[in-house]
């Protein structure tokens, strides 16, 4: 592999001249530059960007830590992050944790010792001390979807309102036996969705029926599929099912069709975390849609603002909450 010295030798100039020409740090005669560029092309020289970034103290890279991106809201948020990062001159590195704290710790240490200027994370909440250490070392941290620590800026959705408005919408449709298939309650968005569901059910005078995933690594499709039997066992008059995430909704729809229960005539189905897949299904699913790409854009702007700011003049912490909007489709 060609080196800076090889380029200098072929162009018959000093190494320092090659460096100045390639980095545009000071004047180099146009004819000399022409010879240097010709040597670079002939040798297929590629500068050591890692070493360069270390010397400059900036990597122009953002680490993104998510539970997963398959059939989830995180895939669309990450798209928003990547597109905005590219506009701002940054690349992104994605790490999937499957909501496993050990995998998350491994990802964070890799980013900490690697080449990122900032980390955007949907955390399990089990590695907050490590995140604070990383932040203290000068790497910016911003939370997405899950606000685990008020000391870090965050971008989330109003999950409580999603649960509340979901129940109110179904109640207005005539539903009185509204079941809820939730995710693990120790993860903040699921806890807040339940809180909104609980409040609305109480106001409507309806009895709660809730099943939840007990594992972070659970199969959400299976949670939805199995949840139908559990809810029907609790209340054979079940007339509506709310799911926390679209993938659970897919399981619900499959289970109802196998039981020959008509959607939406007999049981209505809606998701509290809308994803684009909901509009592409054979039976399109009503959902509370989050502005995922806009959330990604906002996250990127916030992390870059932290990265670019002087250490003594960091921007104030921001906790941004996006509203979801109800999109009515065939399942209701």
Quick check: 302 and 296 in contact, CB under 8 A? no
The pLDDT of residue 332: 93
Higher pLDDT, 75 or 231: 231
| Portion of the chain with pLDDT greater than 90, in percent | 60
Between helix 30-43 and helix 15-23 the angle, nearest 10°, is: 90
Considering only CA atoms, give the Rg of the chain. Answer: 26
Check whether 48 has a pLDDT greater than 60. Answer: no
What is the widest separation between alpha-carbon atoms in the chain? Answer: 87
Quick check: 280 and 327 in contact, CB under 8 A? no
- Contacts for 170 with CB less than 8 Å, ≥ 6 apart: 178, 240, 242, 268, 270, 332
Q: What average pLDDT does this structure show over 35-56?
A: 70
Q: Is 260 exposed, middle or buried (0-12, 13-18, 19+ CB in 10 A)?
A: exposed
The pLDDT of residue 24: 59
User: 4-47 and 159-289 share one CATH topology?
Assistant: no
Looking at every residue in the chain, the average pLDDT score rounds to 88
Least confident of 53-57, 89-93, 142-146, 328-332: 53-57
The pLDDT of residue 330: 94
pLDDT tens digit sequence for 297-324: 999 999 999 888 876 778 888 999 999 9
Q: Tell me: cis bond preceding 113? Omega within 30 of 0 counts.
A: no
Render 178-227 in DSSP notation, one character per residue.
EEEEE--TTSHHHHHHHHHHHHHHHHHT---EEEE---TT--HHHHHHHH
* 4-47 placed in CATH 2.160.10.10: no
Distance (Å, rounded) from C-alpha 132 to C-alpha 142? 11
Least confident of 111-125, 162-176, 241-255, 292-306: 111-125
**Closest to 272 (Cα-Cα) out of 173, 171, 192:** 192
**Residue for token pair 């398959």:** 70
The pLDDT of residue 277: 64
- Domain 57-157+292-323 carries which CATH code? 3.40.50.2300
The pLDDT of residue 187: 87
Strands of the chain, DSSP E: 61-66, 91-96, 118-121, 140-144, 153-157, 178-182, 209-212, 240-243, 268-274, 286-289, 319-322, 325-327
Distance (Å, rounded) from C-alpha 64 to C-alpha 218? 22
State the CATH class of domain 159-289.
alpha beta
Distance (Å, rounded) from C-alpha 98 to C-alpha 111? 17
pLDDT tens digit sequence for 91-125: 999 999 988 999 999 999 888 876 789 999 999 99
Q: Where are the domains of the chain?
A: 4-47, 57-157+292-323, 159-289
Residues in the chain: 332
pLDDT tens digit sequence for 56-71: 556 789 999 999 877 6
DSSP SS3 for 122: coil
The pLDDT of residue 213: 77
The pLDDT of residue 163: 97
Check whether 276 has a pLDDT greater than 70. Answer: no
Q: What average pLDDT does this structure show over 125-139?
A: 89
47 pLDDT tier (thresholds 50, 70, 90): low
The pLDDT of residue 110: 86
Compute φ and ψ for 100, nearest 5 degrees: -100, 120
The pLDDT of residue 137: 80
């Amino acid at each position: 592999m060609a080196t800076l010295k090889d380029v200098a030798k072929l162009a018959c100039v000093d190494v320092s001249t090659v460096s100045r020409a390639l980095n545009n740090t000071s004047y180099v005669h146009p004819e000399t530059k022409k010879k240097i560029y010709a040597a670079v092309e002939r040798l297929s020289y590629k500068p050591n960007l890692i070493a360069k970034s270390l010397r400059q103290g900036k990597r122009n890279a953002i680490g993104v830590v998510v539970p997963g991106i398959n059939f989830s809201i995180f895939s669309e948020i990450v798209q928003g992050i990547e597109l905005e990062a590219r506009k701002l001159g940054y690349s992104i590195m994605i790490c999937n944790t499957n909501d496993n704290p050990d995998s998350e710790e491994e990802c964070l240490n890799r980013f900490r010792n690697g080449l990122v200027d900032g980390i955007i994370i949907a955390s399990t909440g089990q590695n907050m001390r490590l995140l604070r250490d990383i932040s203290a070392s000068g790497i910016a941290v911003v939370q997405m979807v899950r606000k685990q620590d008020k000391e870090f800026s965050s971008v989330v959705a109003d999950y409580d309102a999603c649960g509340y408005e979901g129940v109110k919408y179904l109640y207005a449709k005539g539903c009185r036996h509204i079941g809820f298939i939730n995710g693990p309650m120790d993860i903040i968005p699921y806890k807040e969705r339940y809180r909104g569901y609980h409040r609305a059910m109480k106001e409507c005078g309806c009895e709660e029926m809730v099943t939840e995933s007990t594992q972070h690594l659970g199969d959400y499709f299976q949670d939805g599929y199995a949840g139908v039997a559990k809810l029907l066992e609790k209340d054979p008059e079940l007339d509506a099912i709310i799911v926390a995430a679209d993938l659970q909704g897919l399981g619900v729809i499959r289970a109802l069709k196998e039981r020959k229960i008509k959607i939406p005539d007999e049981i209505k189905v809606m998701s509290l975390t809308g994803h684009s897949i909901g509009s592409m299904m054979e039976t399109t699913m009503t959902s509370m849609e989050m502005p995922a790409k806009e959330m990604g854009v906002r996250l990127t702007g916030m992390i870059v603002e932290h990265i670019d700011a002087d250490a003594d003049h960091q921007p104030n912490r921001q906790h941004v909450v996006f509203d979801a909007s109800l999109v009515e489709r065939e399942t209701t």
